Amino acid sequence: MELDPAQARLLWELERRLMRPAVRASPDQVAKLLADEFIEFGSSCRVYSRQQIIELLQQEQQTAKKATVTDLSARRLAADVVLLTYRVVESQTIRSSIWKFADGEWRMVFHQGTKSESGQMLSAHFDVQ
Delimit the domains of the chain by residue range.
Answer: 5-115
The third-level CATH classification (topology) of the domain covering 5-115 is Nuclear Transport Factor 2; Chain: A, (3.10.450)
CA nearest neighbour of 86 among 24, 22, 16, 17:
16
| Distance separating alpha carbons of residues 104 and 127, to the nearest angstrom | 39
The pLDDT value given to residue 47 = 96
Average pLDDT score over the chain: 87
CB-count burial class (<10 Å; 0-12, 13-18, 19+) for 119? middle
pTM across the whole model: 0.86
The pLDDT value given to residue 118 = 59
Per-residue pLDDT reduced to its tens digit, 63-116: 667 788 899 999 999 999 999 999 998 888 999 999 999 999 999 999 999 998
Share of the chain above pLDDT 90, in %: 66
